[in-house]
């Protein structure tokens, strides 16, 4: 149980670095509650700019970022909408929207930042900042020169996602260095580890780089169809180690034609499982999440209570990389593994974009463990003088219910 309270009215979002550092250091127990209580920041240009960058590059976010939620029922769940590109919202449009809905945007930011980081970015940083762990998954020769690696592989992903109307999660942090320095010298920064993880998870699939000069030339000459010379194939498989390549190849071959469940597991799921096995994510129990706001003396406060589960019952149970192939070929062990992945994925569906995507073993809401959870709206509560310890009592009550709130 950890309770963090921050009272910086200028609030340049630096307080969150303390929370992220706690996650990086695995300071919380395998099953824990993290309460983050911050002051709503002043509506300065700098703070507006940070929220703009975060949400403009998000694929899904709370609808209250774009519109007031005053008319929603008190106990209703959060409505989520697709990102700005879907709505045709450019940077300047978003600036005026967030200026009008600043508190709503900050409320959504606090919840989204910590859930995203705990589930997705924390394990990437833990694995890829260390050479010993990184070498288990990534070809050390390919990643030796960071600048070349990002230019040859990550830039290809940026272009592909842009062409598909999507944005990479690392884009949310790449503009302002909010999480950390964009580069950390010879060491790998958080942002760099995010980018490495994005390339790693895409390594089983085909990728190509668009040659814009060729396209312009063809258009000038009146060509109407794509031609092969407009694209250069980029082999992402060279990014991973030979052991990882073998695992993916043999598992894919074994699964071929054996469509027994809802989704045929695609290769990135096994890479994600390996990443989480080594990276110790804190998965969020969305069904148990609490969100409040209240006024303390003169300042309005924003409180999130996260229930975090490292799910080590799963990740410590799966074998080391060398034995992973044989484990997944055992139907009983595969079933248990995929049920756990499905339970985690359905908790976070549309909340942490693309995490364990395509892991469905059964349909949404078919069983109690496969219910798609939703975040609650932030509840406005009244706190009387000398009664702020109500939050500590509330958190302790949640802690006492641990046995009932595991993800699986």
Q: What are the residue boundaries of the structural domains of the chain, listed by start?
A: 15-144+243-403
pLDDT above 80: residue 29: yes
Contact of 99 with 92, CB cutoff 8 Å: no
- The structure's pTM equals 0.88
pLDDT above 80: residue 207: yes
pLDDT above 60: residue 70: no
The token duo for 186 is: 């010879």
CA dist 3 and 34 (Å) reads: 6
Q: How confident is the model at residue 72 (pLDDT cuts 50, 70, 90)?
A: very low
pLDDT above 70: residue 54: yes
Give the mean pLDDT of 50-69: 88
Q: What is the DSSP letter of 209?
A: E
CA dist 179 and 14 (Å) reads: 9
Contact of 395 with 33, CB cutoff 8 Å: yes
pLDDT tens sequence across 338-395 = 899 999 999 998 899 889 988 888 888 888 888 888 899 999 988 766 555 666 666 6
Which letter, b or e, does each residue of 73-85 get, where b requires 16 or more Cβ atoms within 10 Å of its Cβ? eeeeebebbebbe
CA dist 287 and 318 (Å) reads: 26
Q: How confident is the model at residue 224 (pLDDT cuts 50, 70, 90)?
A: low
pLDDT of residue 214: 55
Q: Three-class SS of residue 145?
A: coil
Which letter, b or e, does each residue of 162-197 get, where b requires 16 or more Cβ atoms within 10 Å of its Cβ? eeeeebbbbbbbbeeebbbeeeeeeebbbbbbbbbb
CB half-sphere exposure, 307, CA atoms < 13 A: 24
Contact of 178 with 119, CB cutoff 8 Å: no
Q: How confident is the model at residue 127 (pLDDT cuts 50, 70, 90)?
A: very high
Strands (E), 66-153: 80-82
Q: How confident is the model at residue 71 (pLDDT cuts 50, 70, 90)?
A: very low
Q: Three-class SS of residue 238?
A: helix
Give the mean pLDDT of 316-342: 88
User: What are 2's strand-pairing partners?
Assistant: 34
Task: Give the number of other CB atoms < 10 A from CB of residue 351.
Answer: 24
pLDDT of residue 216: 57
């Amino acid at each position: 149980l950890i309770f963090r309270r921050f009272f910086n009215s200028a609030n340049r979002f630096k307080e969150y670095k303390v929370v992220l550092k706690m996650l990086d250091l695995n300071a919380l127990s395998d099953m824990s509650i993290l309460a983050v209580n911050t002051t709503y920041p002043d509506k300065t240009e700098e703070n507006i700019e940070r929220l703009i960058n975060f949400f403009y590059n998000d694929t899904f976010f709370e609808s209250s970022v774009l519109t007031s939620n005053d008319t929603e029922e008190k106990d209703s769940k959060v409505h989520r909408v697709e990102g700005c590109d879907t709505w045709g919202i450019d940077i300047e449009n978003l600036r005026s929207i967030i200026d009008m809905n600043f508190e709503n945007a900050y409320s959504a930011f606090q919840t989204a930042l910590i859930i995203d980081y705990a589930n997705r970015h924390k394990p990437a940083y833990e694995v890829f900042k260390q050479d010993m762990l990184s070498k288990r998954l990534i070809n050390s020769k390919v990643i030796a020169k960071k600048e070349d690696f990002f230019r040859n592989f990550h830039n290809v992903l940026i272009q592909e996602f842009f062409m598909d109307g999507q944005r990479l999660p690392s884009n949310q942090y790449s503009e302002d260095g909010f999480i950390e320095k964009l580069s950390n010298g010879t060491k790998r920064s958080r942002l760099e580890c995010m980018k490495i993880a994005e390339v790693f998870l895409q390594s089983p699939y085909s990728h190509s780089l668009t040659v814009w000069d060729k396209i312009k030339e063809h258009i000038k000459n009146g060509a109407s169809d794509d031609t092969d010379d407009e694209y250069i194939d980029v082999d992402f498989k060279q990014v991973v180690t030979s052991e990882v390549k073998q695992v993916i190849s043999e598992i894919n071959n074994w699964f071929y034609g054996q469509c027994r469940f809802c989704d045929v597991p695609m290769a990135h799921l096994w890479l994600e499982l390996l990443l989480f096995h080594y990276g110790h994510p804190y998965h969020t129990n969305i069904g148990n999440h609490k969100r409040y706001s209240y006024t303390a003396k003169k300042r309005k406060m924003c409180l999130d209570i996260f229930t975090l589960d490292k799910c080590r019952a799963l990740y410590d149970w799966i074998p080391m990389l060398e034995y992973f192939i044989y484990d997944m070929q055992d139907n009983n062990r595969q079933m248990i593994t995929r049920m756990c992945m499905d339970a985690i994925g359905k908790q976070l569906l549309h909340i942490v974009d693309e995490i364990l995507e395509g892991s469905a073993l059964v349909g949404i809401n078919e069983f109690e463990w496969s219910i798609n959870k939703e975040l609650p709206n932030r509840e406005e509560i009244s706190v009387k003088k000398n009664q702020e310890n109500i939050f500590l009592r509330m958190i302790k009550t949640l802690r006492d219910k641990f046995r009932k709130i595991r993800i699986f």
